[in-house]
Structure 1
Amino acid sequence: MKAAKLYAIQDLRLEEVPVPEIKNSEDILIKVKATGICGSDLSRYGKFGPKKEVGLTFGHEFSGQIEEVGSEVTGFKKGDRVSVSPGLPCMKCEYCKSADYSKCNSLEVIGAVADGSFADYIVVPAENCIHIPDEITYEQAAMIEPSAVVVHAFYQGDMQVGDTVTVMGCGPIGLMCIQWAKVFGAKQIIAIDVMPEKLDWARDMGADIVINGKEENAYEAVRRHTDGRGTDIVMEAAGTPFTCAQVLGLAAKGGKVVYLGIPYADVTIDRFNFESIMRNELLVVGSWNSITGPYPGKAWDATVHFMKEGKIDLTPLITHRYDLSEVEEVFKKVFKRDTLFGKIMFFPEGVK
């Protein structure tokens, strides 16, 4: 079978390898149907290289069809359609024992410490799998994981019906935030980015107001559109050192700032934005991963439900579809930012 393995920084190789075998009685062999690129994949590919073991199969956002189940697996059978949580909590630490898996002391991820999804087949623990109904396509199901990350962030922010929301950054995660803000009952959604094309996507996903951060001062623009108060919740989904500081000034007094984006660099906060935390008595929360109990958690259940109902449709986020055979060139191109992209999806059986 084909598998894309990461050997070093910007050294991703598509190789022919044996189909993996089930070695644990509670594991499942899955034929990968669709698998997407996560922003963290790009950072690991272009900046950090393999986390632990050199030459592991890369990728962790995916869906597929069960090919074989281990002898002790219950609830799943050959032919079932599944999405898979890539998280690998230890299940032993104090946080895992309280089903707070996102805080696991040694949380790892498929594709970083175990072979991942940029392949024809993958073996995963049965407990990581979740059934997907026929109403959800495989490419939609491959986005359940990042969608659940967004839902978990809204839970962290304790969003209430009627809240106003600002979303900073209109990449795939930010665009998912916009659509989920509607489902959570947002009264007004403001989207901020520096690329006009992404702001167009934000409008299409349901943003009421879009602000180009290059063309106008984001703080002043948000205040102008909110009668001077700011918004109840600010979702930081850009993950840059600048925006991580900037978002603190966009929340209303007593508002909440939720961090989803990962800056991968030191963040320096100027006095005005830092004092906004104190003077405006903000609640600043972080959000990491999406997994809670019962594993993988209610964010996953919510995503499947609202996808099935058609109230969450992430298909418009997919801007590029490729055969898995193109994975090496695609990563090179995307990391160089030679093209504007949203969600990129690979199909081991070919694009149909």
Structure 2
Amino acid sequence: MTTAPSDTPHGPHDPGGPHDGPESAQARFHALLRTFEGRPAATAGRAKDPVNAPMIRHWCEAMGDTNPAYTGPDAIAPPTMLQAWTMGGLSGHTDRSSAYEELFGLLDGAGCTSVVATDCEQEYLRPLRPGDEVTFDAVIESVSPRKTTKLGTGHFVTTRMDVHANGEPAGTHRFRILKYAPAARPRPASPPPAPAPAPAARPRPVINRDNQGFWDGVREHRLLIQRCTACRTLRLPWLPGCNACSSPDWDTVEASGSGTVYSYVVMHHPPFPAFDPPYAVALVELAEGVRIITNITGVPYDKVRIGLPVRLEFLRVDDTLELPVFRGGTG
């Protein structure tokens, strides 16, 4: 996202005077928006239901999460359900403050009538258990200066929610949206000749703070496997905590690079830009015992078989992307 000056005033709520330039008007409008920072979005909110086993079960079934920590008499709720207990549903919450609506009214009046969720961050302080009564307070944490994106021009609004269970701090949920004016999309009377299509780029992996170390290793031509320092269980793909003992502490071991095809599929259709079907996608079991989804190179797609020995190599896809793949027929 980049910051760009506006060519026009913001609208009827623009606090700038008639002699202000666009940049001065933007600064004044942003100063007005910032007066909402620190104002409550919800005060003494209360979840509509206590933490309960049926909701935990539905969540785990939807996510395909079979961790035994979420069942039985000592069950806890999956940490990522933190926001689920505070949602108001179709009927909403009656304890929501007017500040959020006032802020949105200003942005609507400035032409920022569209909204899109951009990201969220969660911090967990203690596990939630069935029977816990969940309460929360929310505050408008920040409103960004005017930003220009591919969707349009507007402001990022970040809300922080502090969640409590039976009065004890349980976690923090930050939610960020972009309130924007959609970019104009003029249509030329006669479209220019279409340029020759550029080669399609491979989809980029989503890199975040939970898997950054994995991709750092790939750049160094190392396939790193997480290892729980409490129970020594290996895990791949990377996770923020151990799925065997729930410990958040871990280190890494480097894979030897040898493995075998555990299962595979051959992709024929539909074609996808940057891929040339048919090709084989395999679940490779590494010598260390963990498995990774990857492409098989070095052998024709119709020669891939379960049990085929494979060896790690790194495939340079383009100038900015390199991926771990496995070459067949070695071992």
Shared fold (TM-score greater than 0.5)?
no
Larger Rg: 2
Q: TM-score, normalised by structure 1?
A: 0.23
Select the structure that is richer in strand.
2
